Each structure stands twice: as C-alpha cells, then as structure tokens.
C-alpha cells in the first residue's frame, strides 16, 4: 500500500464511524430526561371509523372470529402485533411506536396515565359501557385510573395455587400448602417478582406491595425456607402441572381455567385461592396518546363489550371479564374450579400490586434477586 494512501483511508473510516456513533446517539435520545407528553390535553374522540385498527396485545388474547366480525362490520383491517411482557409493551410505546389500542395491567395503566401517555375515553361514546361501569362499581373509579377516565377494564384474575389432586390429595386452602411435604421438590412459583413477594407478604399478613426493608427481609427469610423445596420459577403453570414436573404450582386463575378446556379429566387438578388472601390483577383497554386511529379504537372497545363477543373471548382465553350478564358464562366454564371466579368482594379486598417509589422498587428488586438466586 502506498504511504500517501493511508491518511484518507483512516480518515474516511473514522468519519464513517463518527456517522454511525451519531446515528446511535440519536437512538439513545430516548434515554434523555424529556418532557412527558400530556395526552390529557387531547379531547376525547368520537367513535367512528378513521382508519385500520393497529392492535397491540398479548398473543392469543382475543378470539380470532371476533377480529373477523369487526373487520367485516366496519370495513377495516385489524393490524395485529403482540408483546410478551408489560415492560416490552411500554418500551415500544416510549420508543414512539404508534398503536391504536393497547392492554396494560392495572399497575402499568397507572404508570401510563401518570406519564400522560393515554388519551381520555368518553364513556358516552360507548353503547355498551353501562354493562361495565353500571354494574361493577369498583371499575367506575379504580385506584389505577381515577374515574376510569382513560381506561375500560378488560379482564380480571387472581393468583392462587394449582395442584395435582390425583397425586397429593386435598390441600388446606392456605399459602402454607406450598411447603407441603407431599410435594417437596415439585413445587413451582411464578417467575414474577410481584407475585412471589406478594405471596410471601400474604402468608405473613403484610401488604402485598410492601417496599419496606424490614417487611422485605421477613419475606425473603420466609421464602428462603421454601427455596430448598422448590423445583423452579416458571410461569408456564399449565404445562408444568400437565407434564408432571409440578405437583403444586402458584398459578393465575385464567391459566387454570384455560387448562380445564384442554384437560381430558379435570378431576386430577385442583385450584384454590388461599384464605390469607389472593393477589388480584386486572388489565384494561387503553388508547395511547399517539394513536393514529383513535376513533376506530373506540369502535373496537365497544364491539368487544357486546355480550356475544365477550362470551367468545371468555371461552377462548379463560379469563373473566367484568361485563354485566356474562358472569354465568364464566361460572359455567370454571365449574370444577369455582375459586377462579373474581367477585366484587375480591376486587374490594384491594390486593392489587401498586407502584412504589424508586427506593421501594429497588428494594423489591433486590429482595427478588435474593429469593431467586439464593
């Protein structure tokens, strides 16, 4: 190589590198302290077709025939994409991806509302809203979204214990059943920080969302006694029970109800919502501040709330929905596991996972690391 040729080469390569770094720095701007959007300033939209529906939810959370019906009735397409965690969903929203409708859990709905990222929803635009808010007082003014100004509830579920009745018989309706000697070495906990710490808190009679270091120490040492009996942390409760890896598994009610649909003989399984209390969770419909077609999203929410569509979805995913007149459908579905039902009293017990401050969240995170890594 000739000596004169070297300088331009190196310079050009450096220049190219600098361009690349600039591009990445632009990508990193998402991490700058930025002014939060304020969706509250946006007027609620009318329910009318203003384009195709860009839909963002867990996979398999709506009966496909409901989508087909919606597409046919309103002459629009449903453009689907899925997330695999709340964190993933919010990261995409924060990165500026635009969706018409998202399905945050209560805790995340509160974060999004506080962050000014959800549009207000005018209930008078929804023909079927009365079936929700007229009957379920709780959701008329939930803790995560005062007055349900930005959200409409979608499903509600609780956390309990699923077990193999055929292998270990009956349990005692307590979280302490997880320590049962009959199941030693075949116990799974959900791979979920809040659920595991919340279970420890309930067993000790503490607040499920506690961020207090004294409380968390007590929870960690209690769970330390469970750890040697554990087989693992896994949220695949359904398969763990089915393939025999788990005799006892901390599980979400909806997953157990879905299992009833599949199991040849439901009698071999049991599900209990322990007497110390069970964590309650719910998720909801929400329209992001930058939704390209909020009018279609309003139509979609209303369509999903029609009794015939609620019925299809309940049967498809196994989660109850707080819509008046559909309670019987769910009760029939979970007849072998009546404890899957989420009643108004369950909701009012208020064992929801709340958002803590930064210090509390970090303390919970550290406690979870100790529970998980020993």
Partner 1 sequence: MALPRPFTRGRRDTSGNRMWVWLMLPGTLWMTGFLIASLVLVAVLAVGTTDELGNPRFGFDLAGVRALADPAYTEVMARSLGYALLTCLICLLIAYPVAYTIALHGGRYKHALIAAIVVPFFANYLVRMYGWSVVLSDDGPVLRTLRAVGLADGGTKILNSGLGVVAGLVYGFVVFMIIPLYAALERLDVSLIEAGRDLYGGPVRTFFFVTLPATRQGAAAGLVLVFLPAMGDFVSAQLMGGPDQIMIGNLIQDKFFQGQNWPLGSALTMLLMLVLLIGMLGYLRRTRKDEAEARR
Which residues of the chain form contacts with partner 1 (CB under 8 A)?
1-2, 4-5, 8-9, 12-13, 16-21, 23-25, 27-28, 31-33, 85, 87-88, 90, 94, 111, 114-115, 185-186, 192-193, 227, 230-233, 239, 243-245, 357-358, 361-362, 365-366, 368-370, 372-374
Smallest distance, Å, CB 181 to partner 1?
Answer: 14
Rounded to a whole number of angstroms, the minimum distance from the CB of residue 266 to partner 1 is 17
The residue (of 107 and 293) whose beta carbon lies closer to partner 1 is: 107
C-beta closer to partner 1: residue 192 or 339: 192
In the complex, the smallest distance separating the C-beta of residue 26 from partner 1, rounded to whole angstroms, is: 10
Cα torsion angle, 347, 353, 357, 360, sign: positive
For the chain, the maximum distance between any two Cα atoms, rounded to a whole number of angstroms, is: 85
Residue position matching structure tokens 């398969």: 239
Q: Residue 85 Cβ, how far from partner 1 at the closest point, in Å?
A: 5
Smallest gap from Cβ 174 to partner 1, in A, equals 22
The least distance separating partner 1 from the CB of residue 115, rounded to whole angstroms, comes to: 5
- Cα separation, 371 vs 220, in Å, equals 6
Is the Cβ of residue 140 or residue 268 nearer to partner 1 in the bound state?
Answer: 268
The 10 Å Cβ neighbour count of residue 317 is 20
Nearer to partner 1, 232 or 292 (CB): 232
Say how many C-beta atoms besides its own lie within 10 A of residue 150's C-beta.
Answer: 26
Q: How far is the CB of 262 from partner 1 (least distance, A)?
A: 15
Shortest gap between Cβ of 56 and partner 1 (angstroms)?
17
Distance CA 6, CA 3 (A): 6
Contacts of 221 (CB under 8 A, 6+ apart): none
Q: What are phi and psi of 323, to 5 degrees?
A: -125, 125
Question: What torsion do the CA atoms of 326, 330, 331, 333 make, to the nearest 10 degrees?
Answer: 140
Provide the CA 348 distance to its chain's centre, in angstroms. 19
Identify the three-state secondary structure at position 158. strand
Tell me if 316 sits within 8 A of 127, measured CB to CB: no
Residue closer to partner 1 (CB basis): 34 or 345: 34
- The span from the CA of 290 to the CA of 99, in Å, is 7
Q: CB 41 → partner 1: shortest distance, Å?
A: 19
Residue nearer to partner 1 on the CB measure, 86 or 140: 86
190 backbone dihedrals φ, ψ, rounded to 5°: -60, 145
Place of tokens 């930005």: 150
Nearer to partner 1, 15 or 48 (CB): 15
3-state class (DSSP) for residue 257: helix
Q: Which one, 20 or 325, has the nearer CB to partner 1?
A: 20
Tokens found for residue 138: 């709780």
Sign of the CA dihedral with 222 first, then 195, 203, and 255 last: negative
Q: Closer to partner 1 at the Cβ: 35 or 72?
A: 35
């Amino acid at each position: 190589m000739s000596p004169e040729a070297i300088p331009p080469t190196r310079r050009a390569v450096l220049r190219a590198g600098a361009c690349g770094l600039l591009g990445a720095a632009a990508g990193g701007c998402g991490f700058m302290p930025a002014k939060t959007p304020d969706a509250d300033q946006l007027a609620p939209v009318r329910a009318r077709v203003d384009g195709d529906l860009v839909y963002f939810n867990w996979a398999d959370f709506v009966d496909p025939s409901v989508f087909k019906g919606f597409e046919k009735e309103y002459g629009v397409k449903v453009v689907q994409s899925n997330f695999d965690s709340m964190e993933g969903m919010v990261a995409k929203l924060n990165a500026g991806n635009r969706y018409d409708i998202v399905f945050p859990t209560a805790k995340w709905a509160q974060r999004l509302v506080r962050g000014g990222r959800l549009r207000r929803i005018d209930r008078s635009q929804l023909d079927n809203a009365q079936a929700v808010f007229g009957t379920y007082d709780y959701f008329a003014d939930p803790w995560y979204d005062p007055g349900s100004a930005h959200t409409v509830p979608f499903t509600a579920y609780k956390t309990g214990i699923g077990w193999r009745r055929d292998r270990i018989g009956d349990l005692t309706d307590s979280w302490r059943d997880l320590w049962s000697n009959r199941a030693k070495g075949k116990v799974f906990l959900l791979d979920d920080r809040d659920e595991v710490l919340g279970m420890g808190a309930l067993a000790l009679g503490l607040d499920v969302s506690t961020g207090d270091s004294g409380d968390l120490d007590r929870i960690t040492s209690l769970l330390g006694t469970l750890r040697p009996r554990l087989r693992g942390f896994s949220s695949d409760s359904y398969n763990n029970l089915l393939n025999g890896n788990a005799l006892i598994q901390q599980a979400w009610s909806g997953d157990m109800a879905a299992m009833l649909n599949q199991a040849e003989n439901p009698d071999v399984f049991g599900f209990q919502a322990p007497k110390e209390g069970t964590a309650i969770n719910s998720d909801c419909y929400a329209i992001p501040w930058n939704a390209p077609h909020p009018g279609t999203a309003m139509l979609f929410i209303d369509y999903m709330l029609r009794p015939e569509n609620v019925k299809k979805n309940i049967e498809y995913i196994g989660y109850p929905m707080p819509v008046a007149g559909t309670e019987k459908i769910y009760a029939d579905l979970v007849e072998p596991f009546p404890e899957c039902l989420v009643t108004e009293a369950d909701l009012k017990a208020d064992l929801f996972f709340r958002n803590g401050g930064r210090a509390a969240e970090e303390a919970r995170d550290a406690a979870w690391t100790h529970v998980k890594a020993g």
